[in-house]
Amino acid sequence: MNKGGYQIIDLKGAALTSGTEKTIAGTYAALLNAHGKRTVISGMKVGTTLYNDFEAIFTAGSEVFNAALTIGAASVAIAVDSGDGVTVTVTTE
């Protein structure tokens, strides 16, 4: 059954740099196998900022999943490619 619940995408507290891709094993497969469930991002750390878990809505492109959201005063774009490359771009207003 694919209904109910949510899919956790664990970025494992990997030290991400805004706008720079980092490989985090299993992220693409986790999104691919979410089967329409809500997606929760866990363990996201960009620079020195560790974010609390948050819900993100991803859209599927050609071998990439994308999400764009606002967290506090920051605009956050997340891209996950089929090679498990994760790029998080944070811009503040």
Return the domain boundaries, the chain.
6-92
pLDDT digits (tens, 9 = 90+) for 17-75: 999 999 999 999 999 988 888 899 999 999 999 999 999 999 998 899 999 999 888 89
Tell me the whole-structure pTM to 2 decimals.
Answer: 0.89
Burial string for 22-49 (b: 16+ CB within 10 Å, else e) reads eebeebbebbeebeeeebebeebebeee
**Strands 38-42 vs 54-56: parallel, antiparallel or unpaired:** antiparallel
